[in-house]
Chains A and B, each alone.
Chain A
Amino acid sequence: MATIEMKNIVKKYGDGFPAVNDVSIDVADGEFLILVGPSGCGKSTLLRMIVGLEDITSGDMVIDGERVNDLAPRDRNLAMVFQNYALYPHLTVYENIAFPLRLKKRPEKEIDEKVRQASRTLDLDEHLERKPGNLSGGQRQRVAMGRAIVRDAKAFLFDEPL
């Protein structure tokens, strides 16, 4: 796990509208933070800036003491569950969960171990060979979480996946 420091984060879109205006939050290692607010207030945008999917207009995003403003998502080592899950529909549940590990070229044995451990935690054991299209909403949600927790990510971001 890691610390995340946001210093005067601002996000302005093309039309000059500030979606996120001067946010400064420190999240300590192991801390559990929930953002609550009306729709359109910038919760998702802030999460997407932390994980690197959205450019930061001004301010500093610091993870574990390192400024990550210009790092690509893959170099930030954060895990995220998307609002709409964004599962890979052409892959089985097993391969969905294994995807981040395969990208890291982990050995097959380690991948299998970690996937099975995650699936046991999330009660997905009997669905491992199924495709997301055949799962219920709750099952899809758990697959999305499985994909996040198999990794040794520095932090886990959940964008209202309920």
Chain B
Amino acid sequence: MNKNALTRVGTLVGFVLILLWCLLPVAWIISLSFKSQEAVTNGSPGFFPQSGGGAGWQNYVDVLQDEQFRRAILNSIGISLTATILSVALATLTAYAVARLEFQGKKFVLTTALVIAMFPVVSLVGPLFDMWRTFGIYDTWIGLIIPYMSFTLPLAIWTLSAFFREIPWEMEQAAQVDGATSWQAFRKVIVPLAAPGVFTAAILTFFFAWNDFVFGISLTSTERARPIPAALSFFVGADPFNRPASLLAAGAVVATVPVILLVLFFQRKIVAGLTAGAVKG
């Protein structure tokens, strides 16, 4: 066997190992979600649902019929989408200023943003809990949207300003000579060209908001605003000593689906080389 073939085999083995490592838990939870509760509690049920008594779609039916769970899905979608839209809109404007303008304290703004993004989430939960109750936004959508935004804005600003810097400045100047106001140049030329960056920022923001557990569990107390990750942990079923593992698994799968759909949708928008042909050479 020559060296070239050896490298290829090595790559393949590594590839398979990584795939297994990443997908096994997912496969396991999907398999679990199709098992009956008895099969799960009766010792070792084996990997495939049929081996210990399958439940068909029953777990999914039960989960989706649960009023609290349905409400949690609604909360999660509403909160995550609002946080994403607001965060990306604000970050686009900020990043544009950061990339294009020279102003005092620019470095300070960027560094502060980075520091905020690196703040440990847990350290803020206590103070926020207290403040939110004083302000009366404890256990509300807005009470979660605000912390999600403050944690995702820095990331979005840094990502987007990198994208804006890639766009030749002449684009904008050409638009201005063509008769555009600064705002028109921004909206008709710069934003379309920065679209991949906008969608990247949107995905990152949505992920953070959707996956968050710490804020979700500590800043809510009822189903009024409780998001899915927190709601899943409240899923105890009829018998608190016997956690309904298969129901939880079904819930987890349902919670994953919107994220996968969103990524597949946005991924097509993230294409490289949008600025190809703009300038000579």
Contacts and interface: CB of A to CB of B under 8 A. Distances in A.
B193 A74 contact: no
20 contacts: A53-B173, A53-B177, A74-B177, A74-B178, A74-B180, A77-B179, A82-B173, A83-B280, A84-B279, A86-B170, A87-B277, A89-B193, A89-B278, A103-B178, A103-B180, A132-B277, A132-B278, A140-B280, A147-B178, A151-B178
A141 to B, nearest CB: 8
B281 interface: yes
B173 A86 contact: yes
Interface of B: 168, 170-171, 173-181, 184, 188-189, 192-193, 273-281
Given A88-B189, A89-B275, A103-B184, A73 B176 contact: yes
Interface of A: 51-53, 72-74, 77-80, 82-90, 99-100, 103-104, 131-135, 137, 140, 147, 151
- Give the dominant DSSP class at A's interface: loop
Contact of B177 (A80, A84, A88, A132): A80
Contacts, number: 86
A129 to B, nearest CB: 14
Nearest to B195: A90
A138 to B, nearest CB: 11
A100 B178 contact: yes
Given A100-B178, A103-B179, A86 B171 contact: yes
A90 B281 contact: no
B180 A90 contact: no
Contacts of A52: 176-177
Given A52-B177, A99-B188, A132-B278, 13 more contacts: A53-B173, A72-B176, A72-B181, A84-B170, A85-B278, A86-B278, A89-B278, A90-B192, A90-B193, A100-B179, A131-B277, A132-B276, A133-B276
Given A89-B278, A133-B276, A140-B277, A82 B174 contact: yes
A83 B173 CA distance: 12
B190 to A, nearest CB: 10
Contacts of B168: 84, 86
Nearest to B168: A86
A83 B188 CA distance: 22
A134 B278 CA distance: 11
Contact of B276 (A79, A84, A86, A89): A89
Contacts of B179: 74, 77, 100, 103-104, 151
Contacts of B180: 74, 103
Nearest to A87: B278
B176 A88 contact: no
